[in-house]
């Protein structure tokens, strides 16, 4: 067994940038929202650096980049609703699993680990995306960025999942691509494992000091 999994019962995965490369669909929805407002498109490279703090922050960053950052709260709310509508229409047209993900989830589940999903993405998008990628059956629980009063980097979603699943924090591992996953994991008392291929605001995730790092989830099996 991988040394990262010694003593672990529960493995909590981040979604965007860890299991799925969702930026093509997120960027399309951001650009459609910007077009509605008569603003120029942001493009995938920019959106890649803005993902990870939930949809409101993503929209705020896109508006700020377009020079519309000082906009009224009502304008930001309208932009956010437009983004949600566009993303809801096509949440999984060009979103893909990263290499090794399905194999790792299948093997880890077969080995008896409890698997959970903890994302900052709004909860409404979790089921459609998991279903489009045939991933629903792997997870005992899934928590979104608006499921609880606080999201990552707050430890609340992680402690909530561990409690609900009856697993002590020290027997739980948080696997993610960003400093928010590492910080939430550390504050929840989970062990933390980072993947370097996702979205971390343009910085190497190793700077966040995870307990371990793997190039691909395939290394876990
Ligand atoms: O910020 C988001 O919407 C997605 O973030 P995640 O990396 O927590 O899945
Ligand atoms: Mg992520």
Fold that domain 23-89 belongs to in CATH: DNA polymerase; domain 1 (1.10.150)
Calculate the average pLDDT of the chain. 96
Tell me which residue of 175, 44, 19 sits closest to 97, measured CA to CA: 19
Domain range annotation of the chain: 3-22+95-220, 23-89
Task: Match 């949440």 to its residue by tokens.
Answer: 91
Q: What is the pLDDT of residue 116?
A: 98
State the helix-helix crossing angle for 23-36 and 55-65, rounded to 10 degrees.
60
Beta bridge partners of 11: 115, 173
In this prediction, residue 72 has a pLDDT band, given cuts at 50, 70 and 90, of confident
Report the alpha-carbon distance of residue 34 to residue 200 in Å, rounded. 23
Atom in ligand 1 nearest the alpha carbon of residue 178: 7
Beta bridge partners of 175: 13, 193
Ligand nearest to the backbone CA of 119:
1
Distance 127 CA to ligand 2 centre (A): 17
Q: Does the model's ipTM exceed the 0.90 cut? A: yes
For the question of residue 14 being annotated catalytic, the response is yes
Ligand nearest to the backbone CA of 25:
1
Distance 20 CA to ligand 2 centre (A): 9
Q: Which residues line ligand 1 (CB under 6 A)?
A: 14-17, 51-55, 119-121, 178
Task: Match 């609340």 to its residue by tokens.
Answer: 156
Fold that domain 3-22+95-220 belongs to in CATH: Rossmann fold (3.40.50)
| Least confident window among 64-73, 76-85, 103-112 | 64-73
């Amino acid at each position: 067994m991988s040394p990262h999994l010694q003593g672990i019962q529960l493995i909590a995965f981040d979604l965007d940038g860890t299991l799925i490369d969702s930026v093509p669909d997120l960027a399309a929805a951001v650009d459609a929202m910007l077009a509605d407002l008569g603003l120029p498109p942001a493009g995938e490279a920019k959106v890649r650096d803005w993902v990870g703090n939930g949809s409101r922050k993503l929209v705020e960053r896109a508006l700020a980049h377009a020079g519309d950052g000082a906009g009224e709260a009502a304008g930001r709310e309208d932009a956010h609703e437009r983004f949600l509508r566009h993303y809801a229409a096509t949440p999984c047209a060009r979103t893909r699993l990263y290499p090794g993900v399905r194999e790792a989830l299948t093997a880890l589940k077969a080995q008896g680990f409890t698997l959970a999903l903890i994302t900052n993405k709004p909860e409404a998008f979790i089921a459609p995306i998991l279903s489009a990628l045939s991933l629903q059956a792997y997870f005992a629980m899934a928590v979104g960025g608006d499921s609880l009063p606080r999201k990552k980097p707050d430890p609340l979603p992680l402690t909530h999942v561990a409690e609900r699943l009856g697993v002590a924090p020290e027997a739980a591992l948080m696997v993610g691509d960003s400093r928010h996953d590492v910080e939430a994991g550390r504050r929840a008392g989970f062990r933390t494992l980072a993947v370097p291929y996702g979205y971390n605001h343009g910085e190497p995730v190793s700077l966040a000091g995870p307990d371990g790092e793997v190039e691909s989830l395939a290394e876990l099996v």
